[in-house]
Amino acid sequence: MKDEEMVRMLLHDGCFIIKHLYNFVLGYNEEELYATRWSPAQLRIDLGMLENQIPLFVLEEIFYHLTPRKLQRKITRDVGDDGMMITPQTFQRKTMMRQRKRHKLLVMAMWYMLKGWFVLPEDESDELYKFIADKEVHHLLHLLHLAHAHLVKQQQGHDKDDDDAKAKANIVSAAQLRGLGVKISKAPTKRGGILDVRLRNGLLSPVLEVPALTVDQGTVQLLQNLVAYEQQGTPPPSNDDEHPRDYFTTYAFLMYNLVSSTDDIANGSHETR
């Protein structure tokens, strides 16, 4: 593909994604998209596939220049423009405008991509959104990974010495855990997303708390792509003392072992109600 064709493709795809995010946030139905019942869910799957990722800076640049007026007024508020003369004050305001638009784009993308995974804050100034806005986000799949990883660290704390990277452990099935006296229960909804699995001491027996996972036609594909993203090498964290972790790979391994038969599914469904 020639450079010009690549640029044209990124522009067309980027405009489509931004339009779709904007319509999703405002609750507008896109007639061409809703022609079939499965199209909206399939589009969300496609946007989460590793091979379909568009660099976020492309979306940011398009969004910066083509923000709808209704949304732009909400973002910029009292951010003005002193004309064509570039002064330190003008430059600062333009920088603030760009940062606010980037923040809005990230919030819109999170509301769309993370729907059904965990309860997101409605306030756009929430700490989670501020954390993401301060990070270098590569694409939508990276955004998914960042949000989940941050919630896990926020809820459980992060100790770089809390585990041994070389340690190996066998994970038994849900039926076997039940036979060993371990109860499986549903974790609180608003705690930390699907990755926040905890083993705690109960009054009578140990309790494995597993967050509920909404399973639809896109769940498996998104999880597979998040695992693939980790296996290709996730971006190094900003803290050099902190090593990147394969959160979704570990989660997939855990669930694969926990739910290995129809008995495990029945036990899990019964105990987490």
Q: Give 21-34 pLDDT, tens digit per residue.
A: 888 888 887 877 77
pLDDT in tens, 232-272: 876 655 554 455 578 899 888 888 888 776 665 555 555 55
Give the best-scoring range by mean pLDDT among 6-15, 81-90, 215-224: 6-15
- Tell me what pLDDT residue 132 has: 87
CB distance 184 to 263 below 8 Å: no
In the DSSP assignment, the letter for residue 30 is -
pLDDT for the residue 157: 58
Residue-wise burial string across 14-38, b where 16 or more C-beta atoms lie within 10 A, e elsewhere: beebbebbbebeeeeeeeeeeeeee
Backbone torsions φ then ψ of 68, nearest 5 degrees: -55, 145
Dist. CA 192–CA 20, nearest whole Å: 27
Higher confidence at residue 190 or residue 18?
18
What token pair was written down for 111?
């509301």
What pLDDT, on the 0 to 100 scale, is given for residue 159? Answer: 44
Distance between CA 270 and CA 273 in Å, rounded? 6
Q: What angle do CA 92, 95, 99 make, to 5 degrees?
A: 140
- pLDDT score of 222: 86
Q: What's the CA gap between 225 and 44, in Å, rounded?
A: 12
**Average pLDDT, integer, range 11-38:** 83
pLDDT of res. 190: 63
Model's pTM, two decimal places?
0.76
pLDDT at 149: 83
Q: How far apart are CA 183 and CA 272, in angstroms?
A: 9
Q: How confident is the model over 12-22, as a mean pLDDT?
A: 91
Q: What is the pLDDT of residue 15?
A: 93
The residues pairing with 208 across neighbouring beta strands, listed in sequence order, are: 184, 199
Higher pLDDT, 68 or 52: 52
Which residue type is seen at 187?
A
The pLDDT score that the predictor gives to residue 9 is 94
Pair 219, 255: CB distance under 8 Å = no
**Weakest-pLDDT range from 22-31, 85-94, 124-133:** 85-94
